[in-house]
C-alpha cells in the first residue's frame, strides 16, 4: 500500500508542509520493511520541489486534467489512483477539490485537518460528501476535532487526533531566551 500525501506547492517555509514531509518520512521508516511506503504529491507541478527543507521522501508526480466547473483550479483525477494500491491524504483545503472524486473512484482517503477553521471552504454538499466518505479524518488539536464534529455530524468516529512531538536534538528549549517579534501574515 502506498500512502500519497497531497501537499500545496509552497516555496517558502510553512509548518504544515514540513509536518506532511516529516510524517511521510516516518511512515517510510516504520512501515517500509512491511511493504508499505509514503510519497508526497504536489498536484499539477512537474518540477516543484521543496528546497527549504531537507527530505528524502519520494515525490509522486501527477498532472491532472482540468475540470472547468466553477474554477479552473479544480482538476479531474479520474484513473490516477488504484483503489487496491493507494490511499490518499488530503489537506483540509483540498477536501472539496478531490474528496468527492476519490470517493467515486472508491480510493481510500483521509482528510488531514491542520487548521480547523478552513474546513468550511467550498460548497457544503461537496464538503459533506468528502468528509462522510473519508476513511479517517486526522486533526491536530482538540479544537479542530470539535470543529469537524460540529460541521460534519456523523463523522465523530472517524476523527483521529494526531499529537505532534518535538525532536529534542533539533529544538532545545533550555537555551537562553531572546526577545523576538513574530508576525503571522494571516
User: Tens digits of per-residue pLDDT, 42-86?
Assistant: 887 777 888 888 888 888 876 565 554 455 456 778 778 999 999
User: Tens digits of per-residue pLDDT, 90-120?
Assistant: 999 999 989 989 999 999 999 999 988 889 8
Its pTM stands at: 0.83
66 in helix, strand or coil?
strand
Question: By 3-state DSSP, what share of the chain in percent is helix, strand and coil, each rounded to 5?
Answer: 30, 20, 50
What pLDDT, on a 0 to 100 scale, did the predictor assign at position 72?
44
Residue 81 contacts residue 102 (beta carbons within 8 Å): yes
Q: Which residue has the cell 508499505?
A: 36
Q: Supply angle C-alpha 82, 86, 87, rounded to 5.
A: 130
Rounded CA gap, 105 and 107, in Å? Answer: 5
Range 124-141 average pLDDT: 95
Q: Is the pLDDT of residue 184 over 90?
A: no
Residue 123 contacts residue 95 (beta carbons within 8 Å): no
Amino acid at each position: 500500500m502506498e500512502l500519497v500525501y497531497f501537499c500545496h506547492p509552497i516555496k517558502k517555509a510553512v509548518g504544515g508542509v514540513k509536518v506532511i514531509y516529516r510524517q511521510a518520512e516516518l511512515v517510510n521508516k516504520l512501515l517500509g520493511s512491511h511493504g508499505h511506503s509514503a510519497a508526497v504529491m504536489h498536484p499539477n507541478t512537474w518540477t516543484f520541489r521543496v528546497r527549504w527543507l531537507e527530505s528524502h521522501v519520494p515525490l509522486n508526480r501527477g498532472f491532472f486534467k482540468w475540470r472547468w466547473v466553477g474554477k479552473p483550479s479544480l482538476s479531474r483525477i479520474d484513473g490516477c489512483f488504484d483503489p487496491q494500491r493507494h490511499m490518499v491524504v488530503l489537506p483540509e483545503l483540498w477536501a472539496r477539490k478531490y474528496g468527492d472524486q476519490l470517493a467515486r473512484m472508491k480510493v481510500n482517503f483521509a482528510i488531514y485537518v491542520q487548521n480547523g477553521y478552513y474546513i468550511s471552504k467550498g460548497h457544503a454538499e461537496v464538503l459533506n460528501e468528502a468528509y462522510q466518505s473519508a476513511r479517517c479524518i486526522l486533526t491536530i488539536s482538540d479544537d479542530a476535532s470539535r470543529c469537524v464534529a460540529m460541521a460534519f455530524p456523523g463523522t465523530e468516529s472517524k476523527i483521529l487526533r494526531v499529537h505532534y512531538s518535538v525532536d529534542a536534538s533539533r529544538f532545545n528549549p533550555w537555551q537562553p531566551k531572546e526577545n523576538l517579534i513574530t508576525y503571522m501574515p494571516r
